[in-house]
Amino acid sequence: MAKLKKTVRQTVVPIVENVVFIAKPKQWFSEVNLKKGKEVKFPCGCK
């Protein structure tokens, strides 16, 4: 199992409070599906 790295960025979102972004291991990039990522629809209608 890949070890997660340190926090890259963090922010505060009113509904969920703290949101932390971590760098993903290089091995995971091969599993990213850019087409599916572009098709994600958020309930709020935001992008």
| pLDDT tens digits in sequence order for the chain, 47 residues long | 556 678 888 899 888 888 888 888 888 889 999 999 888 887 877 66
Tell which residue, 30, 28, 12, has the closest CA to residue 20: 12
Model confidence, pTM? 0.40
In a domain, 9, yes or no: yes
Decide if 37 is inside a domain: no
Domain count across the chain? 1
Does 24 map to a domain? yes
pLDDT at residue 28 in the model: 86
Looking at the domain assignment, is residue 44 inside a domain?
no
| CA 19 vs CA 5, 9, 12, 38: distances in Å | 15, 9, 6, 21
Which residues form the domain of 4?
1-31
